[in-house]
Amino acid sequence: MTFLTSKPFLNTHAKCEYIKTKKRSHVTLYAQEALWKSAYVCLSILLCLLVCVSFFDVFLFHHASFFFTATHSETFMTLDVTEAFSTMLSLSTYITCVCVLPLGAYCFLTFINPCCFRFEAVFLLCFTGISAFLFLCSYGIALFCICPFVWHFFLGSDGNDSHSWHYAPRLMSYMHSLLSVLCTTHVLFQLPCMVGFMQLFWHMPQPLNQRKRIHVLLLLVSGVICPPDVLTQTSCWLCFICVCESLFFFVSLFHLYRERINESSWENAKM
C-alpha cells in the first residue's frame, strides 16, 4: 500500500521539478538575450560616440550653418579651455542618441515580440513607426523653422552689416540653446504617442467636458511664464491650445478605436 500511494506522489513531484527547471531555463534564456542585446546597444553607443567626436566639426557646421549665414561669421568664441570639449561632448552625445535610437527600438521589439499577441505586436510596430516619423518631423521643424526664426528675431530682420555692433557668439551658449530647442521639440511631438499609449493601456478618461477650464488654465500659465507682453502671451497661449487640442484629438481617436475593438470582440464571442 505504501508503494502504491507514494508512486503518484513521486510522479507529481517529478513533474513539478521538471516544470520548475523548464521555467528556469526559459528565464535564463531571456536574461541572456536581454544581456546580449544590451551589449550590442552599448557597443553601438560607444562606437557612434567615437565617430561623432572624430567628426565634431562637420556636425557643428551642419547645425550652425544658418547661424553662420545670418551673422556673416564662421567662428565661435570660447572663454574657457574646457568649453570646447564640453560642447563637443554634448553635441556628440545628442547625435549618438539619435543614431542609436533605431537600433535600441529594434532590439526592444525583437525581444518583446514573442511575448505579445498578434494585435499587440502590430500595434507596437505601428506605434514605433509613428514615433520615428514624428521624431524626424520635429528635428526638421526645429532645425530649419524654429531656430532660424529665433536667430532672425534676436539678430534683426535684415541680417546685414548695417548694425553698429558685431556679434561674437559663444560656442557653449549657442550649442546649449540649440540642444534645448531640439529636445523640447522632440518631447512636444512625442506627446500624442504618449497619450495614445496611456489611453490604450490605462483607460484614461476623456477630458472633453473640462475643455474650457483647461483653456483658461493654459491662459493663466502663459501669463505667468511669459513677459508682460500681450502678443507674446497670446502666442504662447495659442501654442498651448494647439498642443492641447491635438492631445484631445488623439485621446478621442484611441477611445473610438478601443470601442470598435471591444464591439468586434463582443460580436465574435456571440457568434
The secondary structure of 116-149 as a DSSP string is S-HHHHHHHHHHHHHHHHHHHHHHHHIIIIIHHH
Q: What letter represents residue 223's amino acid? A: G
260 located within any domain: yes
Q: Mark the ranges of the chain whose per-residue pLDDT is less than 70.
A: 1-26, 70-74, 155-168, 199-209, 253-255, 257-271
Please tell me the total count of domains within the chain: 1
pLDDT score, position 7: 47
Q: What is the model's pLDDT at position 240?
A: 80
- Domain with 239, as residue range(s), is 205-265
Per-residue model confidence (pLDDT) at position 172: 83
Query: Global pTM?
Result: 0.70
Q: What is the CA radius of gyration of the chain?
A: 27
Q: Tell whether 81 is covered by a domain.
A: no
* Spatial separation of the C-alpha atoms in residues 143 and 149, rounded to whole Å: 10
Specify the pLDDT at position 68. 75
Query: Considering the domain boundaries, does residue 119 fall inside one?
Result: no
Grid cell at residue 238? 495659442
Residue 203 phi/psi, 5° resolution? 55, 60
Model pLDDT, residue 244 = 79
Domain assignment present for 168: no
In a domain, 5, yes or no: no
Which residues are bridge partners to 77 per DSSP?
170
Total H helices, total E strands in the chain: 8, 0
Report yes or no on 222 lying in a domain. Answer: yes
Cβ contact 199:217 at 8 Å: no
Q: Is residue 239 part of a domain?
A: yes
Q: Which residues contact 134 (CB under 8 A, 6 or more apart)?
A: 189, 190, 192, 193
Residues 6+ apart with CB under 8 A from 110: 37
- Helix residue spans in the chain (DSSP H): 2-54, 56-71, 83-112, 118-141, 147-155, 171-202, 211-225, 230-270
The rounded distance, in Å, linking the Cα atoms of 267 and 262 is 9
**pLDDT number for residue 51:** 92
Residue 140 lies in a domain: no
The answer to whether 150 and 181 have CB atoms below 8 angstroms apart is yes
